[in-house]
Amino acid sequence: MAISEIRMIPYTKPSITPLEVEFATDAAANGWGEHCYDYIIRFEEAFKAHLGVKYAIATSSCTGALHMGMHALGIGPGDEVIMADTNWIATAAPIVHLGATPVFVDILPDSWCLDPEQVEAAITPKTKAIVAVHLYGNLCDMDALLTIGERHGIPVIEDAAEAVGSVYHGKRAGSMGRFGAFSFHGTKTITTGEGGMFVTNDPDLYEQVLTLSNHGRARGQSKQFWPDMVGFKYKMSNIQAAIGCAQMQRINELVNRKREILQSYKEEFENLGIAHQGFNPESHGCLIGAWMATVVMDTPSENSTLSEALQARLRIKGIDARPFFAPLSSTPPFRGIANEYKHCKWAYSIPPVAINLPCSHEITQSDIHYVSAAVKETLL
CB-based contacts of 45, cutoff 8 Å, min separation 6: 56
Residues 150, 170: contact at Cβ < 8 Å?
A: no
**How many whole angstroms separate alpha carbon 56 and alpha carbon 46?**
9
Residue 188 designated active-site: yes
Rg (C-alpha) for the chain, rounded Å, is 21
**How many whole angstroms separate alpha carbon 182 and alpha carbon 46?**
14
DSSP annotation of 336 reads T
Tell me, rounded to whole angstroms, the distance of Cα 373 from its chain centroid.
29
CB-based contacts of 157, cutoff 8 Å, min separation 6: 66, 69, 70, 73, 129, 130, 131, 132, 177, 178, 179, 180, 181
**How many whole angstroms separate alpha carbon 58 and alpha carbon 14?**
19
Residue/partner pairs of 224-232 with CB below 8 Å, 24 or more apart = 232/64, 232/67, 232/68, 232/71
Among 128, 188, 235, 317, the one annotated catalytic:
188
How many helices (H) and strands (E) the chain has is answered by 12, 14
User: Phi and psi of 146, rounded to 5°?
Assistant: -65, -35
Q: Which residues are catalytic?
A: 188
